[in-house]
Structure 1
Amino acid sequence: MISKSLFVLTKYHTDLYNDDFLLLLKVLETVTPKVKVDSRLPAIDSRANFALFLVDAAYSSCSELLNEEIIDLAKSNHVALYNAMPTKVHEQTALLANIKGIIYKKDEPENTFKGVRRILSGELWFCRKTMSKTLSELVQQVPNFVKTPQTDLVSLNVLTAREKSVISLLAKGAKNEDIANTLNISCHTVKTHIYSAFRKTKSRNRIELANWAQRFMPAASIVTR
């Protein structure tokens, strides 16, 4: 067993007496008896007491889950998604946001236990295809990382406010339709902004553009307009 606690971040409406949730707690308690459950994250100065934060991903997409608070949490803590649905989450987006793994709602208790243990030992808990594809695409981008900061500042400055809003949502895993609904524009307009952003940032695909945003767009620019 580990010495630190596990933290389970639930949604406000989560039924804590649901059979599936109680089963999850039993699985976690086989890893450590110290499991804290709350719908709010602990204070920043106490987060070092937790070995892993499990974030409830039920019925949520990455664009909804990976808000600024969770992204900041994942920068200095082990964070995993649980209760996830394959049709809602995008593994590559989560992986690029430094999420350590995804535990799906349909997973058997044995797989949940195995995933938590792997993450706690410093491994990632994603399917091999996701990790291979993400690594391959990141390797292809390596020449782009050689650009000087001034070059990327120029790229950022030539982006319009609307393009920055589209990139922000894309970087959080939103699909074109989701972006269109959020910004109240057409899917065709979304595509136009994305292709323009590809050209201005010298990105070749959505993964490269999302990674570019995480590297070079200031947090203050990553907002929805």
Structure 2
Amino acid sequence: MERFTKLLIITEKEQTSNMALLAESINIKVEQTIKPDLQGKSIRNGTLVAFPFYGRQLGKRGISEDLQHCMQLAPVFLYQVERSFVDPNYALNIGIRGLIYRDEQLDRVLNAIKAMMAGELYYPRAIMSELVDEVLQQRFNQGFDPEALSAIQLLTKQEKKIIQLVADGSRNKEVAMALNISAHTVKAHLSSIFRKTKSRNRVELLRWIQQSSPSRTL
């Protein structure tokens, strides 16, 4: 999981964005530039780019040239997104690291920035749950030992979400916040997950995930 050390915010106009102020309030190193200045700009490793997407559509019609150029320079997430204009499944499939909607509350925007700077993806829970199910189905299609199949079939939807967060490096408190449950409940779920996957700890659980699918991890 790649952690980022700097946030580059792309804006339409030369004025300090609210995104920059929020990121700086949680001690994130921020740089801001307008879209025209992005051409010919080199971006250092460890930089995550916030790309404005107000009033724009993203779906089966493809990717605009400016977004495509930006994605070639560095990992990107979209902000100021209008919910009805962007297909989150499509965004995830093309490599967008997250979506921050225009009507998102400030506390959720802060959580989103923190999560993505820590290397996590930021999408609605339903989308991430579908992704986990898709990965598990791919494993089934690829074929693996019956014991692993049995364990996967026993996992609940909530347990799959927790496995996704654990694989992304989240600690118990972070998992609890992401799923809006208590840390005690997270521990209980982890105990169940460890039992079903025959893992004694997180390290063995991650190894189980990797061994269950040679081509892809959660």
TM-score (norm 2): 0.52
Residue aligning to 1:211? none
The match for 1:132 among 129, 133, 150 is 129
Residue aligning to 1:25? 20
Q: Within 1, Cα distance between the matches of 2:45 and 2:119?
A: 17
Cα distance change of structure 1 residues 90 and 145 upon mapping to structure 2, 3 Å threshold = farther
Cα distance change of structure 1 residues 75 and 37 upon mapping to structure 2, 3 Å threshold = closer
| C-alpha displacement of 1:128 | 1.1
3-state SS of the aligned residue for 1:52? strand
Aligned partners of 2:99 and 2:123 also within 8 Å: yes
Cα distance change of structure 1 residues 97 and 43 upon mapping to structure 2, 3 Å threshold = same
| C-alpha displacement of 1:134 | 3.0
1:37 aligns with 2:33: yes
Aligned partners of 2:4 and 2:118 also within 8 Å: no
Q: Within 2, Cα distance between the matches of 1:43 and 1:50?
A: 18
Gaps of 5+ in 1: 147-225
Residue by residue over 1:111-150, the C-alpha shift from the partner in whole angstroms, topping out at 9 and shown as x without a partner, is 112111101111111111011113323544568889xxxx
Q: Percent identity?
A: 20
TM-score (norm 1): 0.50
Residue by residue over 1:20-42, the C-alpha shift from the partner in whole angstroms, topping out at 9 and shown as x without a partner, is x7322210222434322221425
What amino acid sits opposite 1:36 in the alignment? Q
Q: Within 2, Cα distance between the matches of 1:92 and 1:102?
A: 11
Cα distance change of structure 1 residues 5 and 88 upon mapping to structure 2, 3 Å threshold = same
Q: Within 1, Cα distance between the matches of 2:71 and 2:139?
A: 23
Q: Within 1, Cα distance between the matches of 2:113 and 2:19?
A: 11
3-state SS of the aligned residue for 2:133? helix
Residue aligning to 2:57? 61
| C-alpha displacement of 1:43 | 3.4
Gaps of 5+ in 2: 144-218
Residue by residue over 1:24-77, the C-alpha shift from the partner in whole angstroms, topping out at 9 and shown as x without a partner, is 221022243432222142536x21256210111101111478336634654673
3-state SS of the aligned residue for 1:48? coil
Q: Following superposition, which runs of at least 4 residues in structure 1 exceed 4 angstroms of deviation?
A: 141-146
What amino acid sits opposite 1:55 in the alignment? F
1:6 aligns with 2:7: yes
What amino acid sits opposite 2:44 in the alignment? A
Aligned partners of 1:100 and 1:119 also within 8 Å: yes
Which has the larger share of helix?
1
Q: Within 2, Cα distance between the matches of 1:68 and 1:145?
A: 36
Alignment of 1:109-124 (within 5 A): 109-124=106-121
Aligned partners of 1:29 and 1:35 also within 8 Å: no
Q: Within 2, Cα distance between the matches of 1:75 and 1:141?
A: 28
Aligned partners of 2:49 and 2:77 also within 8 Å: yes
3-state SS of the aligned residue for 2:96? coil
